[in-house]
């Protein structure tokens, strides 16, 4: 609990710094909220009156206090682009993006860990060359390339999966999975490559340690040595990288969701930036940062269960 309290305090302080940076950067961007609401051909006097009513003429520190106070109280304002309250709009979109991120992360871990172990166990053989080659290809090629290839093969060519669109899991879970599959695979390809290389590296390091030789000398089977002892001690750095890569996933998801016309959090952030919807953009960046940090905290707390050498206290 002491460790958790320290981490939560650090998380709160970091989110405070992120809120300052987000508010400062979005206020530097070109564009005027009053002009977005009333249009460029509006009466200058009407624009000045609207700026006064919205508090845009107040000092920046007053505007920041009003914004962060509304965020903490649940009053996130109204989107200028969608004319809807921001809080329920973000809740809907982050659920959609959460489906893609969860699928891509599970897919990457399910493929990367066995492939990395396979490469490490068969070091300097054709299996190692195959696994390393696949990982190198995944790292070298951008996400949108994989997205285009997947659309051409599985949507246009074979017709197995839809190439665009979004379906709500609450209404039709099967359709939601079909629409999320191609974006999740495209998003997880690069992450899978990173995790494969990380798994191989940590497995090679652990398998060269003394306790592995002791396990083999005691007559344990090779499968038990690899899975119960080596992999358990090598998995923590892989999970660390996976947790940190969530920031990368939420960054890349803007491109992937735009490519697949998947109306999730990335698409919403892009629309807010494209239309200079500053209240929505500020909320999107803040929420994405909070989700990434909470996920990293959860990964750190899992260390005690996965790695016997870790003591959180």
Mean pLDDT, the chain, integer? 77
The percent of residues in the chain predicted with pLDDT above 70, rounded, is 85
Q: What fold, for 88-306?
A: MetI-like fold (1.10.3720)
The mean-pLDDT minimum among 37-41, 56-60, 205-209 falls in: 37-41
Q: According to CATH, where is 1.10.3720.10 located in the chain?
A: 88-306
DSSP state for residue 42 in the 8-state scheme: S
CB atoms within 10 A of CB 252: 21
C-alpha–C-alpha distance, residues 145 and 137, integer Å = 11
What are the pLDDT digits (tens) for 247-265? Answer: 667 767 778 888 888 888 8
Determine the length of the chain: 313
Region 22-46: what's the mean pLDDT? 65
What are the pLDDT digits (tens) for 162-210? Answer: 877 777 777 777 888 888 888 888 888 888 888 888 888 888 887 777 7
C-alpha angle 211-217-218 in degrees, rounded to nearest 5: 95
What are the C-alpha distances in Å from 227 to residues 117, 127, 216, 223, 235?
Answer: 9, 18, 13, 6, 10
Tokens of 183: 């974006």
In this predicted structure, the answer to whether residue 40 has a pLDDT above a threshold of 60 is no
- pLDDT of 2: 78
């Amino acid at each position: 609990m002491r460790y958790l309290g320290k981490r939560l305090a650090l998380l709160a302080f970091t989110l405070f710094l992120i809120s300052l940076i987000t508010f400062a950067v979005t206020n530097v961007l070109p564009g005027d909220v009053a002009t977005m609401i009333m249009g460029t051909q509006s009466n200058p006097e009407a624009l000045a009156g609207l700026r006064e009513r919205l508090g845009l003429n107040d000092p920046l520190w007053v505007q920041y206090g009003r914004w962060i106070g509304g965020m903490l109280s649940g009053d996130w304002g109204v989107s200028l682009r969608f004319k809807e309250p921001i809080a329920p709009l973000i809740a809907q979109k982050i659920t959609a993006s959460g489906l893609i991120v969860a699928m891509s992360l599970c897919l990457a871990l399910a493929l990367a860990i066995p492939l990395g172990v396979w490469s490490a166990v068969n070091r300097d053989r054709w299996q190692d060359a195959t696994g390393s080659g696949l990982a190198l290809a995944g790292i070298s090629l951008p996400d949108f390339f994989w997205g285009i290839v997947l659309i051409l093969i599985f949507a246009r060519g074979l017709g197995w999966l839809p190439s665009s669109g979004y379906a709500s899991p609450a209404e039709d879970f099967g359709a939601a999975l079909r629409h999320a599959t191609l974006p999740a695979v495209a998003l997880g390809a690069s992450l899978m490559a990173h995790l494969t290389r990380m798994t191989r590296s940590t497995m090679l390091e652990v398998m060269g340690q003394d306790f592995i030789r002791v396990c083999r000398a005691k007559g344990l089977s090779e499968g038990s040595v690899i899975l119960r002892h080596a992999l358990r001690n090598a998995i923590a750095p892989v999970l660390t990288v996976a947790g940190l890569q969530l920031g990368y996933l939420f960054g890349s998801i803007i491109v992937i969701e735009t490519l697949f016309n998947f109306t999730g959090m990335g698409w919403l952030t892009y629309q807010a930036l494209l239309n200079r919807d500053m209240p929505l953009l500020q909320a999107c960046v803040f929420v994405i940062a909070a989700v990434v940090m909470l996920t990293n905290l959860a990964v750190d707390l899992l260390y005690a269960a996965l790695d016997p050498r870790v003591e959180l206290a």
